[in-house]
Structure 1
């Protein structure tokens, strides 16, 4: 148990027993007992390189599996991805070797370009992904609908699942695209709909004809205009670790294809082909591309690439620092560098491609990696690169930590504190278990309920609620103090 965990135990015993005159009270803890809470991270950084998470399971991906996935995703085609012809990236050969395909894939995903099917590459290739692009579209043809009002029909629903939430999410996904371009969508129950949506297994049907996903890891696939049909692989939705947000992200992605958008190599785009990143609306680069096809909707959702000034915010979502001493606040879709004077918001995806907005909590671990938490998942970055295998389930990586946390911090021993509501949990990284005292009352630390964010830097640990700031003291409790970080 960390020294801070020992302190909490002492506090609990003291609180529960000191009111009983017969029982001798435990002595108050000395400052040395709790100094790990505010001890410099840099002093601990050289002492541990321990990964705080449970190990990732490396998927079984053979060379044949990899080739099927990569060719299915179009890595051997003469095609445009973000303006760059895939066939021109490596050589002039019309048929690429598996080594070349892997090297191209590694480059686009920020992996070491070895051409070898290593563990990191298997993690990305073995993750669920969008299926191959399906259309009669030619390389020189712009694929788009010739009308502005489109109908869609939900042919079926996953077996045993309630239609209501699924119908609502699909309507939301179509609405998000309608907000940013001149297209209107209406659900109908007729077979002559413009877009038919279906759920099924690897072998399924498209308007009566046989259809098939290229491989078992395919989340969904869609046809370009003016076919537009969308098929979801039922096994990946509404079961296990998948959530409604995962389905919304995938639905938004597939509708993008149905409207004429191709895959993007940028993880800051909703149209990146690999596993859901939890986007809930088209990202700026997606908006730019869809508006190039269909125009800008008058009075629709504005595409803001910068947020308001930091000091005008009434609250923040999360806070994190970096190795250079910069402090960043996250609020909505934007991040702010608190070290800059009159800092204005910049898009989160421009600094951490693949990270969605509205983050719950964040921290930088002792090894320098950045962790971001939202709902029941977390994202891990090394610098600005999202690491393979992420986003990942909190439950699998940090057994016992709750989802939907308000704030998180790391103490000088590398233990993780997660705050939610009126409680907090301590995750002991050496044992990869939750402390036996968790959850505990947040009032034991002198903090208010329902924190907005917390921040642990090289020298201090603090927490935020609204515009109030609480800093950890050597007596083991937080107290309200002045912070210039949120001031213009």
Structure 2
């Protein structure tokens, strides 16, 4: 007999005040009890004297948090909201009690590891790896924590499980509307995704795996659902915009009080990139004489040997129309610098913006990405490569066509990286992910069968020659 049928049976058996509850009210009580709106002392599974005033008060609390009119009446709108897919973690209850008594449960380290130990039944492992890595990188760029992927004994274990899971603890109920759930934050790092629902790499069909992963990582770091902020709303619906998460979200403010903000301040104070835990983008000038490195609102100018010749400056000091952070940038062989932020890009010669810019990326680069994460000009093949999180778009330089670029094709790539840099070796690129980097064969960017490059071998400070390790012969090392 299901829990709901047991409740109905108790109501009918004992009569009295309980018998006055309607079927919808019974469903509401069960839901509100499960997600923490009704205290244990009012648990109708152990008491027949359930007070309808308690239901009204709990329902008002739920309605208010869910953005509904707080009437305290079990209406159709409230029932529909309760039937929506949602996170399996409670909205109120145990976490609030713990935080009230001993403070928030948080990790004692700012360096956490994670591993994906069970994959979904229908989504390729390479795609899952890429999306989960993006979710951790998204969090790391806003909160002072470094996440590293490992194979064994992780701090945070991620699994996709179903109703037929061998473990009763991790199994989801058959037909469950719970999309994912995580363990007690700061103590056990367990994230379980429901493998019986359809996960999406974008927002075209199914549930956004990226958004749900960020949501569950926030739980693992110590946040409850709180006031249902953008990131922490338990109702994470279908077909939501992939990139609608904002850095100003209250969730980041709360996490930054626990762990500290992740920004460029330490590097800026030291006037050195040795203190940075990530870079947003990097590009070489046309003659390989200089490097420009961008972190948050700042940039560094370096010589060809990666020695800083201009310490941290605001991006707006050189390019007055820009603030940062910058998504991607490159300089072509004619000396024009292209800067990509969001759905637009700017074209500069030195510090001077060409008339008519910024422009929409899709208006200039046909069949291209709406947003760009890396831009690389292959000077040997005379091609431009624009990437987003899933595809590499290839353009051939052709001055006889409008805007000078002719679309060649797009290729799904399985390489996980934040940004990339064309090396002096015409067949290789540097790829950067969080606080690490490596070298890779250029062909991998357009190899749809390749999935990998997640085990970065070098620390970011090594690239900027902040350590004793020599990089003189690095480009002769094994290329991934």
TM bucket by the smaller chain?
Answer: 0.3 to 0.5
User: Which structure is higher in RCO with an 8 Å CA cutoff and minimum separation 6?
Assistant: 1
